[in-house]
């Protein structure tokens, strides 16, 4: 049985305030089970790749909130899939879930800036991003290299946010807005769950392995992903409580990230050990 572990990063695998993964590097490198750790996050290709390098892992990942699935070189060598949504990016075989382009969003929302106070992620200076997110300069630069998405930094009131979402729908009924840890995330025909399901479908087409799917998240934009896997783990974060419609195989961690991530996965492993 192979574990497919779909995990958010900020506030789930990484501490929300410090971005530390604590002892998780040693933990995952010493896990006594067959698994793939697939990060499913709002972060960019460059950001995720750097984190993977630090962790010494080379697994597929899903970037920009589900906008694209990235498979490492050689991973899909046995597939005959020639769908037009596949493309090559930095030696990775990629499946595009979104039709958006990050630069186009700025032009589409130009009129709304006259009515609301907000700016796009790419419009923030590196210095502002470092102060706002506590990222280091190199990390901030990597976070701005976006292929599909362009999160919104909301500067207006919560009351106006509802009207803003309504006005966005008038621009394009296919657009959705979800709140992440620090930003509002805009998507079209994709989300984390759709990307996860597409990933699983692709894996099943090239492997006869039996899979157990596990998801870990901490915020609103993780809910659809959490609803779509065998086990759903919600990592604790202050002032951020989410709930799921599903009733079985759910775990709420008692500690925050990164300890809450390990705590959650150990719960899943204990539960599954009872089945053998």
Q: Within this chain, do residues 92 and 6 fall inside the same structural domain, yes or no?
A: yes
Q: Within this chain, do residues 85 and 198 fall inside the same structural domain, yes or no?
A: yes
- Domain residues for 106? 102-187
Q: Within this chain, do residues 164 and 41 fall inside the same structural domain, yes or no?
A: no
| CATH assignment of the domain containing 157 | 3.30.980.20
Structure pTM?
A: 0.91
Q: Residue 82 — very low, low, confident or very high, per pLDDT cuts 50/70/90?
A: low
Last residue of a domain, one of 156, 187, 218: 187
Q: Residue 176 — very low, low, confident or very high, per pLDDT cuts 50/70/90?
A: confident
Q: Within this chain, do residues 90 and 212 fall inside the same structural domain, yes or no?
A: yes
* 157/229 Cα distance (integer angstroms): 35
Q: Within this chain, do residues 181 and 238 fall inside the same structural domain, yes or no?
A: no
| CATH assignment of the domain containing 31 | 3.40.50.1000
Number of domains in the chain: 2
Residue 83 pLDDT = 62
pLDDT exceeds 60 at position 218: yes
Q: Within this chain, do residues 249 and 269 fall inside the same structural domain, yes or no?
A: yes
Q: Within this chain, do residues 18 and 88 fall inside the same structural domain, yes or no?
A: yes
Cα angle 54, 256, 143 (rounded to 5 degrees) comes to 45
Residue 148 pLDDT = 93
Taking alpha carbons only, the member of 117, 111, 110, 120 closest to residue 156 is: 117
Q: Within this chain, do residues 206 and 126 fall inside the same structural domain, yes or no?
A: no
Report the pLDDT averaged over residues 142-169. Answer: 94
């Amino acid at each position: 049985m192979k574990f497919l572990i779909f995990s958010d990063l900020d506030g789930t695998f990484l501490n929300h305030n410090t971005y530390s993964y604590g002892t998780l590097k040693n933990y995952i490198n010493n896990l006594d089970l067959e698994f793939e750790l697939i990060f499913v996050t709002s972060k960019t290709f460059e950001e995720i790749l750097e984190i993977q390098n630090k962790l010494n892992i080379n697994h597929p990942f899903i970037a920009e909130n589900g906008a694209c699935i990235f498979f490492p070189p050689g991973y899909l060598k046995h597939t005959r899939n020639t769908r037009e949504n596949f493309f090559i990016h930095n030696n990775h075989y990629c499946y595009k879930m979104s039709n958006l382009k990050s630069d186009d969003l700025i032009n589409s929302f130009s009129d709304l800036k006259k009515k609301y106070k907000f700016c796009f992620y790419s419009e923030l200076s590196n210095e502002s991003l470092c102060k706002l997110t506590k990222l280091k300069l190199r990390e901030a630069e990597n976070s701005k290299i976006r292929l599909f998405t362009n999160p919104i930094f909301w500067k207006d009131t919560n009351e106006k946010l509802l009207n803003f979402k309504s006005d966005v729908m008038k621009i394009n009924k296919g657009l959705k807005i979800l709140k992440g840890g620090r930003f509002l995330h805009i998507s079209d025909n994709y989300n984390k769950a759709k990307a996860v399901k597409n990933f699983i479908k692709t894996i099943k087409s090239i492997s006869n392995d039996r899979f157990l799917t596990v998801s870990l998240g901490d915020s609103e934009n993780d809910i659809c992903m959490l609803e779509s896997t065998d086990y759903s783990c919600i990592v604790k974060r202050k002032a951020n409580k989410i709930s799921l419609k599903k009733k079985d195989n759910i775990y709420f961690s008692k500690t925050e990230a990164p300890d809450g991530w390990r705590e959650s996965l150990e719960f899943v492993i204990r539960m599954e050990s009872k089945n053998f």
